[in-house]
Amino acid sequence: MSEYLPGLEGVPATQSNISDLDGTRGILTYRGYRIGDLARRSTFEETALLLLDGRLPTREELAAFDADLRRNRVVKYNIREIMKYLPATGHPMEMLQTAVASLGMFYPGDECLTGGDVCGDLNYVHNMSVKIIARMATLVAMWEHVRNGYDPIPPRKDLGYAENLLYMFNGEEPDPLLARIMDACLILHAEHTINASTFAALVAGSTLASPYLVIAAAIGTLAGPLHGGANQRVVEMLEEIGRPENVRAWLDGKLAKKAKIWGMGHREYKVKDPRATILQGMMRELMEQRGGSMGPLFETALALEEACEEKLAPKGVYPNVDFYSGILYKEMGIPPDQFTSIFAVARSAGWLAHWREQLKDNRIFRPTQVYTGESERDYVPIEQR
Residues 360 and 15: their CA atoms lie apart, in Å, by 11
- Which helix (H) or strand (E) segment is 348 a member of? helix 339-360
Residues 21 and 267: their CA atoms lie apart, in Å, by 12
Q: Are 46 and 62 in contact (CB under 8 A)?
A: yes
Residues 121 and 110: their CA atoms lie apart, in Å, by 12
Other CB atoms within 10 A of residue 234 CB: 26
Determine whether 361 is an active site residue.
Answer: no
Residues 327 and 302: their CA atoms lie apart, in Å, by 11
Q: What is the Cβ-side half-sphere exposure of residue 52, based on CA atoms within 13 angstroms? A: 25
Catalytic residue among 266, 273, 337, 361: 266
281: amino acid identity, one letter: G
Angle (CA) 211-215-221 rounded to 5° is 150
Determine whether 266 is an active site residue.
Answer: yes
Q: Are strands 27-30 and 33-34 parallel, antiparallel or unpaired?
A: antiparallel
Residues 41 and 29: their CA atoms lie apart, in Å, by 14
78: amino acid identity, one letter: N
Cα–Cα distances (Å) from 304 to 155, 277, 327, in that order, read 38, 15, 13
Catalytic residue among 66, 183, 273, 322: 322
Cα–Cα distances (Å) from 246 to 161, 237, 242, in that order, read 39, 12, 7
Which residues fall within 8 angstroms of residue 234, CB to CB, at 6 or more apart? Answer: 262, 263, 301, 322, 323, 326, 327
- Report DSSP letters for 56-67, one per residue: PPPHHHHHHHHH
Burial code of 255-290, b = ≥16 C-beta within 10 A, e = fewer?
A: eeeeeebbbbbbeebebbbbbbbbbbebbeebbeee
Active-site residues, by number, are 266, 322
